[in-house]
Amino acid sequence: MLVRNRLEHSRRALASLARASGDFEVVVVDNGSDDGTAEHLAALDLGRPLAVLRHEDDRGGSERRNAGAAVARGEFLLFLDNDVLVDDPRVVEALAAELAADPGLGAVSPLLLYPGEAELVQCAGGGSTADGRIGPIGRGRPLADEHRAHREQTWAPTAALMVRHSSFRRVGGFDESFDPVSLCEDVDLCCRLRADGERIRYVGSVAVRHFEGTTFNHVGHDKLPIWKRHVRVIRSRWADLFAAGPAHTEADLAWVPVRKDYANLDRPRVSVLDDAAPASADLSFFASDRALATGPADVRVLLVGGDVPELPGVRVVGVADPDVRAALPVARAHGAPWALRDATRLVETVPAEGVVVRAPDTDAVSTALRRGLHVLLDKHAVVDLPRLVEAARRAPGRCSVDLPLAHHPELVALGKAITEGRAGVPHAFAVRLDRPARSDRDVVAELGPDAVDAVERVLGAPVTGLRSVEATPGRARAVVVSGGVTGTVEVGWGAPVFRVSVTGTGGATTANLAAQPVSGAYADFIGALRGGPAPLADLNAVDGLFGVVQEWRSKAATLLAAGAPAR
């Protein structure tokens, strides 16, 4: 049983479980409670073996249920939410007997009823349609004989789920990339059991009462978009299993809106809404409680072809690189549960809020944007520009580009002096950017985006075209136009130099950026994922810049191929 605060629910749940028949131990995992739960558990005597695992933080349901399972000694594992009442004392024995009698079963679950006198079904098994729609069967319907049946099911909820211990270990337990908000991790576990050849059975002859929606690990998170994102992941992973059945109709999974009143836990009231129009009243199951957050919510990030620094509250849950020897050390360093060669597959099958792309992979970026994720692109990953821009314009996700010098204080100060007219009207400019030799990289591809970006930020106008280009293997120079002003941009390998000079009617104004600060784009990106304002360079706003750089690079390559530097 996983608990976090809500002491009164936990007290009632454990007391009801203590009255159940059968030979079992109880393992309680306290996920950072601060409401007296720890003290209550320390003094608790259930009359049977009890182990309490205390954690000071709230890391999510999958990780902490796995921790509880790791210390459990039984042949079968019964996962039970702390908002469940085991008021039928036969439940534990009946579920265990079902598993013991059929070696082909991997997991079983009982009937879940709402509390109160109305005898309304909360979940008569987990169902799915052939096209991957998932949901509880019979929710909000009056209890009937059909809900007391035993039948095969697609999945079962962790509110009350018994799993064969050996099967749970064999498939790797719950996927921790679904943390910190545990939604769909139970569907995924059951699908992995089924993919491994086992069946999942609904046992309607025994029932528990479920105070639906009160024990989510969700403070600071908006659960509805997370639910939708997780469902997309589940459909991508398990489309073949859903198509194979057991399948249900959409009517079986109809979400009947109910009104829940848990103000008095001794007399809870749940009723079906007569009018489905105010169904928003039922969204307490998924409602946001961001206002209750005491700190920044955890965010999950996927990495494609690179690494990121550690930041508080950020979880790297997946790493992709065509060279698995490069991906595995990064995954281990971050404790990421997923490491794949295929970045598109990673984006499709691992839940996350953001993707950091350090190496070119247009397919992965397009997939992430289509799924509504926020993408941070390294400047080296901007290839196939038209397709990237089209994906960014059409998809619900946001695409930002990491331009390391975008917020350099000296660059900002120079741009401000120009725009405020303190340097007079500009009529020429010059930019020179040198970095220590990197013979394995194209000098324009490596340094061009930063140099052109500096021009645009200082003059406050896009670079609209190239007048001429010169190139050698280690140096490239271009004459460009920005806001009607013509100037030169030069990049090369050598001692570090980054100088921006603007000549105007008031004389020359220069900024030397050789001592550049470390890019803050990743921290800004995480701030954006948490819902805050962040000064990120949007791909749609800088696509012209990369178009100019790609044209410059192409012309330089042509000159070098001809065998001699030329205009």
In the 3-class helix/strand/coil scheme, how is 245-278 assigned residue by residue?
CCCCCCCCCCCCCEEEECCCCCCCEEEECCCCCC
Backbone angles phi, psi at 50, to 5 degrees: -135, 130
Q: Which residues pair with 320 in a beta bridge?
A: 304, 340
| pLDDT confidence of residue 312 | 87
| pLDDT confidence of residue 249 | 87
What pairing do the DSSP bridges indicate for beta strands 338-340 and 354-357?
unpaired
| pLDDT confidence of residue 516 | 62
| pLDDT confidence of residue 285 | 57
Q: pTM score > 0.95 for this model? A: no
pLDDT averaged over consecutive 10-residue blocks of the chain (567 residues)?
92 95 96 90 93 88 94 97 94 97 97 93 94 91 95 95 97 92 92 96 97 64 78 92 88 87 90 65 50 58 94 92 93 95 95 94 95 92 91 89 81 83 84 84 90 90 90 93 94 91 84 72 88 79 90 92 62
| pLDDT confidence of residue 555 | 93
Nearest to 285 by CA among 135, 161, 179, 109: 135
Q: Which two tokens stand for residue 313?
A: 């509250």
| pLDDT confidence of residue 275 | 62
| pLDDT confidence of residue 515 | 62
| pLDDT confidence of residue 416 | 85
For CA atoms 356, 357, 362, 364, give the dihedral sign.
negative
| pLDDT confidence of residue 395 | 87
The torsion angle over the Cα atoms of residues 370, 376, 379 and 383, rounded to 10 degrees, is -10
> CB neighbours (10 Å) of residue 491?
27
| pLDDT confidence of residue 219 | 52
| pLDDT confidence of residue 73 | 95
Looking up tokens 């806001």, which residue turns up? 483
Distances (CA, A) of 448 to 62, 314, 424, 550: 45, 31, 27, 9
